[in-house]
Amino acid sequence: MTVITTSRSTSEQQEVSKDDSMLKQKAMMAKHFDRLTSARENGEKVCSTFVPGNLNELIMCFDFANNLPEVNAIQNGLRKKSGSYVMEAEKLGHSEDVCTYVKSDVGMMAKGNLAPNGKPFPDPDLLLLSYTGCFTFMKWFELLREQYKCETIMLHTPYEGDGKITDNMREYMVKQLKEDVIPTLERVSGVKFDIDRLRENLRRSAKAEDDLVYVLQTGRNRPSPIDAYFGGIYYIGPIFGAYRGTDDAIDYYKTLREEVDGRLAAGQGPVTPDGVMETEKYRLVVEGPPNYTSFRDFWKMFYEEGAVVVASSYTKVGGVYDFGFRHDPDNPLETLADYCLGVYTNRSLPQRVDMLVNYVNEYEADGLLINSIKSCNSFSAGQLLIMREVEKRTGKPAAFVESDLVDPRYFSAANIKNRLESYFQMVDQKRDGSAKGAAA
Q: In the complex with ligand SF4, which residue's Cβ is closer, 399 or 405?
A: 405
Q: In the complex with ligand SF4, which residue's Cβ is closer, 233 or 256?
A: 233
Q: In the complex with ligand SF4, which residue's Cβ is closer, 134 or 233?
A: 134
The side-by-side arrangement of strands in the sheet containing 46-49 is 65-67, 46-49, 126-131, 151-156
- Minimum CB separation from ligand SF4 for residue 229, in Å? 16
Q: Name which of 242, 236, 228 is nearest 211 in CA terms.
A: 236
- Minimum CB separation from ligand SF4 for residue 350, in Å? 19
CA separation (Å) from 413 to 233, 298, 402, 404?
Answer: 20, 8, 10, 12
Q: What is the CA radius of gyration of the chain?
A: 21
Instruction: Return the DSSP state at 386.
Output: H
Task: Assess contact for 332 and 437: CB atoms under 8 A.
Answer: no
The contact set with ligand SF4 (CB under 6 A) reads: 99, 101, 134, 136-137, 345, 376-379, 405
Helices (H), 278-412: 295-303, 332-342, 349-362, 377-380, 383-394
Q: In the complex with ligand SF4, which residue's Cβ is closer, 239 or 250?
A: 239
Instruction: Return the DSSP state at 51.
Output: S
Instruction: Return the DSSP state at 121.
Output: P
Q: Which residues are CB-neighbours of 43 under 8 A, at least 6 positions away?
A: none
- Minimum CB separation from ligand SF4 for residue 52, in Å? 7
- Minimum CB separation from ligand SF4 for residue 185, in Å? 23
Q: In the complex with ligand SF4, which residue's Cβ is closer, 383 or 394?
A: 383
> Within 13 A of 175's CA, how many CA atoms are on the CB side?
8
- Minimum CB separation from ligand SF4 for residue 77, in Å? 11
- Minimum CB separation from ligand SF4 for residue 362, in Å? 25
Q: In the complex with ligand SF4, which residue's Cβ is closer, 99 or 336?
A: 99
Task: Assess contact for 123 and 48: CB atoms under 8 A.
Answer: no
The Cα–Cα gap between 326 and 324 comes to: 6
- Minimum CB separation from ligand SF4 for residue 236, in Å? 14
The DSSP bridge pattern shows strands 271-272 and 307-312 to be unpaired
Q: Name which of 309, 260, 258, 259 is nearest 280 in CA terms.
A: 309
Q: Name which of 119, 118, 85, 120 is nearest 101 in CA terms.
A: 85
Q: In the complex with ligand SF4, which residue's Cβ is closer, 41 or 97?
A: 97
- Minimum CB separation from ligand SF4 for residue 400, in Å? 17
Q: In the complex with ligand SF4, which residue's Cβ is closer, 340 or 405?
A: 405
Q: In the complex with ligand SF4, which residue's Cβ is closer, 216 or 376?
A: 376
- Minimum CB separation from ligand SF4 for residue 207, in Å? 28
Q: Which residues are CB-neighbours of 244 under 8 A, at least 6 positions away?
A: 54, 56, 57, 205, 208, 238, 319
